[in-house]
A and B are shown apart, each in its own frame.
Chain A
Amino acid sequence: MLLCLIAYGLSHLSTFDTSAEGILRSEIIALPNGYGYQIYSGDQVLIRQEFIPAIYGQTPFSSKRDAKAVADLVMEKIKNRSNPQVTKEEMEELKIRILSSP
């Protein structure tokens, strides 16, 4: 059952992009109170984001959609060799829902 869950997660939650050097991909991770993401280059985790970046506190994303939107933005920046920092303004544009810290 657990293996099935892992297999399902890997095949459905990852988005692959072979155009970048190495294979850059993101994976949405399930956390106790929400979602986060990991950005991979090949097998290596470059970035693991358990909490919403830039803001104070340890608040996970409230939906998979939000986590994926920010992960996509970060991957786009990495591909463009630009700073992959995420700003609060960008997250407002993406309409990321930020619940207050638990």
Chain B
Amino acid sequence: MRKAARFFNPLFFTTLIILGFYGCSEDDDDDDIGNWVDRSVFDGSPRSGVSGFVIDNIGYMGVGYDGDDYLSSFWSYNIEGDYWSQKADFPGTPRNAAVGFEINGKGYIGSGYDGVDELNDFYVYDPTNNSWTQIASLPNTKRRSAVAFGANGYGYFGTGYDGDNDLKDFWKYDPTSNTWTELEGFGGNKRRAATTFTINGIVYFGTGVSNGTYLDDFWAFDPVTETWTKKLDLDEEDDYDVSRSNAVGFELNGYGYIACGEISGATSSVWEYDPSTDTWEEKTNFEGATRQDAIAFSNSSRAFVGMGRTGTLYLDDLDEFFPFEEYDDED
């Protein structure tokens, strides 16, 4: 092991990412704050509707759709080293529009769409031995374009589209007993392709679409009490333009972000949520191509957005987001 490590060190250092840019150049013009920097070109086939999760400093993503095929390959992105590795294939039917979430150091992927049917099977990935195990299927409507998140040792899953109708039910997965139970109390409307992010243990949920209407309600879920609290609407201020579907949500340094997605066509706009004031602020647009069905990896101190599609062009790049840097079009 020592020999291998030494052999690589000189090469590794050239690829290490230099950090520490935060907060160096605030600007009065809000529109110019937030910078996106190109990261590893994922030379996987361009794919969209991928699912994933972050465990420690590794982002995992897989399945998805590349325009021709539904995929089962599964990859890890090493945030520190800025490279990809192909991991054990996802064992279920190849699919897109699945969900991914993390509970206690293990990743979960399930539900989705295989090109013909909606799905309700779920699998757990153990990064310590690079293997998958099927877990209990959702004992309810098969669906795609749902949301899911891990919180407080449980998985939560809800909303989505069953092929005929949009849905508003939520379910809780207990990894200890391998069981799903329905969770009452969500007061929002049915929808598909919503998004979430988690700040200091509170999960924020919003966006999505139903019957052509982009929803503008916004909710906070406290996993300790399992209660939902309605926050200010996403159109509370006249200049808010947060509503959309198929967006990515992520947390970075205590703020929440909703980026990219679709609102009558793919969008690259990015909004920042401040949980202390329940307000939104627009950031620099995503600098890669405009996209929907992308994926975000965040380890809370760094965040990356990539993959996704725009129209029929499937994308394969990954950008790192620096929300407090001045916009620089050279990087």
Residues of A within 8 A of B (CB): 2, 5-6, 9, 27, 29-32, 38-39, 41, 43-51, 53-58, 78, 82-88, 101
Given the interface pairs A45-B81, A46-B43, A47-B43, the reply to whether A54 lies near B89 with Cβ below 8 Å is: yes
As a 0/1 sequence over residues 127 to 168 of chain B, the CB contacts with chain A under 8 angstroms (1 = contact) are 001111000000000000000000000000000000000000
Enumerate chain B residues within 8 angstroms of A86, measured Cβ to Cβ: 86
**Can you list 10 A-B contacts (CB < 8 A)?**
A6-B10, A31-B4, A45-B11, A54-B73, A54-B89, A56-B131, A57-B131, A82-B45, A85-B86, A101-B129
B78's closest neighbor in chain A, by CB? Answer: A48
Instruction: Tell me the smallest distance from the CB of B263 to a CB of chain A, in Å.
Output: 30
Contact B88 A54 (CB under 8 A): yes
Given the interface pairs A46-B41, A57-B130, A85-B45, the reply to whether A30 lies near B88 with Cβ below 8 Å is: no
| Alpha-carbon distance A55/B132, docked complex (angstroms) | 10
| Alpha-carbon distance A30/B81, docked complex (angstroms) | 18
Given the interface pairs A6-B7, A83-B45, A85-B73, the reply to whether A48 lies near B88 with Cβ below 8 Å is: no
Residues of B within 8 A of A (CB): 1, 3-4, 6-8, 10-11, 14-15, 40-41, 43-45, 47, 66, 71, 73, 78, 81-89, 129-132
A10's closest neighbor in chain B, by CB? Answer: B11
Given the interface pairs A6-B10, A9-B7, the reply to whether A56 lies near B85 with Cβ below 8 Å is: no
Chain A contact surface mostly: mixed
Enumerate chain B residues within 8 angstroms of A29, measured Cβ to Cβ: 4, 7-8
| Alpha-carbon distance A2/B8, docked complex (angstroms) | 12
Enumerate chain B residues within 8 angstroms of A85, measured Cβ to Cβ: 44-45, 71, 73, 86
A30's closest neighbor in chain B, by CB? Answer: B4
Instruction: Tell me the smallest distance from the CB of B22 to a CB of chain A, in Å.
Output: 24
| Alpha-carbon distance A10/B130, docked complex (angstroms) | 29
Given the interface pairs A57-B129, A85-B71, the reply to whether A49 lies near B88 with Cβ below 8 Å is: no
Contact A46 B86 (CB under 8 A): no
Instruction: Tell me the smallest distance from the CB of A43 to a CB of chain B, in Å.
Output: 5
Contact B7 A44 (CB under 8 A): no
Contact A5 B88 (CB under 8 A): no
Instruction: Tell me the smallest distance from the CB of B139 to a CB of chain A, in Å.
Output: 27
| Alpha-carbon distance A31/B2, docked complex (angstroms) | 9
Enumerate chain B residues within 8 angstroms of A31, measured Cβ to Cβ: 4
Instruction: Tell me the smallest distance from the CB of A96 to a CB of chain B, in Å.
Output: 14
Enumerate chain B residues within 8 angstroms of A83, measured Cβ to Cβ: 44-45, 47, 66, 71, 73
Enumerate chain A residues within 8 angstroms of B43, measured Cβ to Cβ: 39, 41, 46-47, 78, 84
| Alpha-carbon distance A101/B128, docked complex (angstroms) | 13
B6's closest neighbor in chain A, by CB? Answer: A2
Contact A48 B89 (CB under 8 A): no
| Alpha-carbon distance A54/B130, docked complex (angstroms) | 10
Enumerate chain B residues within 8 angstroms of A53, measured Cβ to Cβ: 85-87
Contact B44 A48 (CB under 8 A): no
